[in-house]
Structure 1
């Protein structure tokens, strides 16, 4: 009898995954080049009543207790203890659609700074490389190679770079919108980290992986069965260091997509009305908005242990800029890519630290090459550091 029941359940599970992937994914599934994608070995796994537990953070292992769900939402479990998810399939999905945490009255403290003011107020021209002088002068250098890259047929490029020492900047079409790809994982995880730092959430809050969070592409959670529970700390880590798409969607669902858009508003970021009206999980963005959330990341790194931990994640994340610069500088960045796009944003350290955002888009998948991105990154580095 059990064998006859497994088949329809499997079919239902696959169908739900397909439907949800279609509903929540962006127009292009996020993909990464195999050579660029990291492959992590998951260790320390065990199971309680056949539900595996993720114990990646061995310094703070799970304290497991099984309790009856009762009226507790089966998709969101943040009580600090493990809870058995007894509801599966359509019932679990229906509950998940109403599972976001009520953070509407939580005031996340956004820091203002000279850097934030510069990003907001700098006036960059359209369709031309614009230089903004800093306190010690204007950036100088040959832009002919960079301009040739911008003019290359089949390519769209935007960038914004600001030298942290004096605010000198260079930019090109900084307000043009692009598919954000995995760069959007930065502001959502920053939102989560700030909620942890303020005591609204905890590293150890538990979230359950359900069908509704499934999406193809990069990450490691796709290798786990639905029903697996993850600490909030694990989800934030995976979203950055593994660029985990499912971790991102779990965070977006549980923290609340409307809360996320409100947070982007508070940062001063631009969003498209169509994205907001449809509560799109993967909103388009632009270089100026990305620079704004990175100015917050740069300040937040000094916010105690949480800020230090969060900042360190970006040092462990794969970086094409790091490769482009020959691994000569510390890069705290978050990359993103799709079939036609390749982006990266963050802070480049070294003798001349700077904030940089690079968005590129190609008219064909074959033109979406890392070598092109590397050239753009190197030319921008020369401008900032010359």
Structure 2
């Protein structure tokens, strides 16, 4: 009898534990679903999705562009990828657009995009202050890592440091504020093909995604000129201009963000060519930063000359519908 009572008690306890675990799992799933819905409904993401509903066309001129770039890079020994989007007509061109590269600081662009998307929907205030902690400190070209913990910065100030100075400490503070898992979810919902796995697990990106993030800034300027222009100005005042900007004339404005770490050198930019603005992302893997920088500048020059030579767009793009001039459709 005693044994039966003990067995019955054990069964009840096991059933209670199973029910508790099921309840916890359901609660966790419900919270994750709610979190995803909250981020998915951001105005910025909804607007960005609308801009992606276009039919893209290319033609023989893009084949010639591809041949010219490959000829230019044939003997460089550089592993590279690029993605171009004409912001006037939506045409896209790419070489190895989905190849993964170490992202380095290029990933800071969507971090600031996410911050401003949250601010646009009043999920946070850009004038909110954060206090620097010892866990935030990380050496970089920016200067925040040299300060003692305890200093305070607004989110807007941190965003400026992240883009203009590529400050790792400021990036760590923003990541702490928005949440790393939320940030990665934002990337997925934005349409990124490659999402980092986390610190030390592969901070990767691809040319297609970097072009998407820069296009996102262009979209943000249309959605909310005030916030969008702030991010755009950060990029215009970024400190490094020896990559994509080096390939265009000095009188053409270039809003860009680089990424650099050992063996990986990238740049992604909005080039304000009059009447033919475009987004360009170039990612390189090579031991020499000097050679990679020069290669990016050469590709940038070729792209600029191509864009400048293009006639007035004969394509009218509506949401989800494209009326073209009969050129061939291609997947890239």
Normalising by structure 1, we get a TM-score of: 0.63
Aligned counterpart, 2:187: 264
How far apart are 1:106 and its partner, in Å?
A: 3.5
3-state secondary structure, aligned to 1:307: helix
Residues 284 and 292, structure 2, Cα contact 8 Å, conserved in 1: no
RMSD: 2.6
Aligned counterpart, 2:300: 377
Aligned counterpart, 2:213: 293
The answer on 1:106 being equivalent to 2:38 is: yes
Q: In structure 2, do the counterparts of structure 1 residues 255 and 112 end up closer, same or farther at CA, with 3 Å as the change threshold?
A: closer
CA offsets per residue over residues 172-223 of structure 1, 9 Å max, x none? Answer: 0000011111111110000001111211111221112212122222212123
CA–CA separation in structure 1 for the residues paired with 2:114 and 2:257: 15
The answer on 1:239 being equivalent to 2:162 is: yes
Residues 81 and 97, structure 2, Cα contact 8 Å, conserved in 1: yes
CA–CA separation in structure 1 for the residues paired with 2:50 and 2:307: 18
Aligned counterpart, 2:288: 365
3-state secondary structure, aligned to 2:282: strand
How far apart are 1:365 and its partner, in Å?
A: 3.4
Q: In structure 2, do the counterparts of structure 1 residues 178 and 211 end up closer, same or farther at CA, with 3 Å as the change threshold?
A: same
3-state secondary structure, aligned to 1:112: helix
CA–CA separation in structure 2 for the residues paired with 1:281 and 1:220: 26
Aligned counterpart, 1:30: none
CA–CA separation in structure 2 for the residues paired with 1:370 and 1:333: 14
Query: Which of the two has higher C-alpha Rg?
Result: 2
Aligned counterpart, 1:117: 53
Q: How many residues align?
A: 268
How far apart are 1:105 and its partner, in Å?
A: 6.4
Which residues of structure 1 form unaligned runs of 5+?
A: 1-101, 123-131
Aligned counterpart, 2:3: none
Aligned counterpart, 1:334: 257
Residue among 235, 260, 267 paired with 1:314 = 235
Which residues of structure 2 form unaligned runs of 5+?
A: 1-33, 310-332
How far apart are 1:159 and its partner, in Å?
A: 0.5
Normalising by structure 2, we get a TM-score of: 0.73
CA–CA separation in structure 2 for the residues paired with 1:317 and 1:281: 28
Q: In structure 2, do the counterparts of structure 1 residues 368 and 224 end up closer, same or farther at CA, with 3 Å as the change threshold?
A: farther
Aligned counterpart, 2:91: 168
Residues 340 and 368, structure 1, Cα contact 8 Å, conserved in 2: no
Give the number of the structure whose residues are more often helix, by fraction. 2
Residues 116 and 227, structure 2, Cα contact 8 Å, conserved in 1: yes
The answer on 1:152 being equivalent to 2:75 is: yes
Residue among 173, 180, 184 paired with 1:250 = 173
Matches within 5 A, 1:267-286: 267-271=190-194, 275-276=196-197, 278=198, 283-286=203-206
Residues 141 and 383, structure 1, Cα contact 8 Å, conserved in 2: no
